[in-house]
Amino acid sequence: MITNAARLDRIDHAKRLVQKIFLVILMGLSIVAALITVFPFIWSAILATHDRSTIFGAGIPLFIGDHLGENYAKLMEMLPFWQAMANSFFIAAMGTSVSLIFCSLGGYAFGVYNFKGKNALFSFMLATMMIPPVVGLIPFYLIVKMLGLLDTLTSVWLPFTATPFGIFLVRQYVVSSIPKELLEAAKLDGAGELRTYWSVVLPLLKPSLATLGIVQFVFFWNNFLTPLIALNSREKYVVTLALRSIQNNPNAPWGAVMLGTTIAILPLLVFYMFASKKIIAGLTSGAVKS
């Protein structure tokens, strides 16, 4: 005769087994999803070591080839590659830095001050996030032309420094994480508006600014459409535009293109490795009570 305790034990054991199986399936699915995500990057790195004939030959080359040096030489010959990398880095750095200033000021204002039309203005700003970026390309071109910024690096970073997403992100962080009393204490301590922002608010916004900084850096680094429209001179090319420009050749050297792509990914990869925790922390901050 089975006692009650033994029956409960068996139910417990079965429950644990089902849980374990579920976990294994979940883990398997996650691994497959991760492989699908990572595969294009690894494959482009592998293709960077092959020449055109192996790439377009029979079968997919999944082994490391021996044309790396040759591809590098071709890349350098066809493009001012490092110049393009430097341009990309410049616009990403400038765009990100200025974004942080503008968005933190905008987000702080929306989070703290009360002014007429604040809600309407905030809603209008959020609504602009719903418009596909492509729709704004022609107005972007006309404005940049009117300002005399065509074919300058400024044209591809300055117009994107006050972003609705950035202002929204900072505003949410200000509302959830900066107590009103802290600002009042600063006011009583004699700090003016700018001093309060600079000495009290800005240091506390660090987590949200880190997130915004990463998002903006990636955006500027990957940006392709606006440089395509605004930049003409080869020496002004950013890396996305430079790599695209050699793909138009009838005999495009895909090995060199893949090498350029792989090199272009590296700065972001390094950035991510150091900052992934910050991104997650910044995006979820304020979601849970600490």
Partner 1 sequence: MARVKLEAINKFYGKSHIVKDFNLDIADGEFIVFLGPSGCGKSTTLRMIAGLEDITSGSVFIGDRLVNNVEAADRNLAMVFQSYALYPHMTVYENISFALRIAGLAKAEIDEKVRRVAAMLELSEFLNRKPSQLSGGQRQRVAMGRAMVRNPELFLFDEPLSNLDTKLRAQMREELKSIHQQLKTTTIYVTHDQIEAMTLADRIVIMRNGVIEQVGTPTDVFLHPVNTFVAGFIGSPAMNFFEATVGEQAGQYFVEKGPIRIPVPRKLWPKVSPGKVVTAGIRPSDIGVGAKGQDQRGFLPSKVLATEIHGAEVLVKAQAGESAFNFHVPLTQRPELGRTLDCSFELDALHLFDKQNGQSLANTL
Residue 158 vs 200, nearer CB to partner 1: 200
Piece of 91-99, 144-152, 183-191, 256-264 that binds partner 1 (CB under 8 A) = 183-191
CB 48 within 8 Å of CB 255: yes
CB 238 within 8 Å of CB 231: yes
Piece of 4-12, 123-131, 198-206, 207-215 that binds partner 1 (CB under 8 A) = 198-206
In the complex, minimum distance from the CB of residue 207 to partner 1, in angstroms, rounded to a whole number: 12
Exactly one of 189, 266, 280, 284 binds partner 1 (CB under 8 A); that residue is 189
Exactly one of 33, 184, 224, 276 binds partner 1 (CB under 8 A); that residue is 184
- Residue 190 contacts partner 1 per CB under 8 A: yes
Is the sign of the CA dihedral 122, 123, 128, 129 positive or negative? positive
- Residue 204 contacts partner 1 per CB under 8 A: yes
- Residue 195 contacts partner 1 per CB under 8 A: yes
The footprint of partner 1 on this chain (CB under 8 A) covers a number of residues equal to 16
* Residue 20, both tokens: 């374990």
Q: Which residues would be at the binding site for partner 1 (CB under 8 A)?
A: 179, 181-182, 184-191, 195, 199-200, 203-204
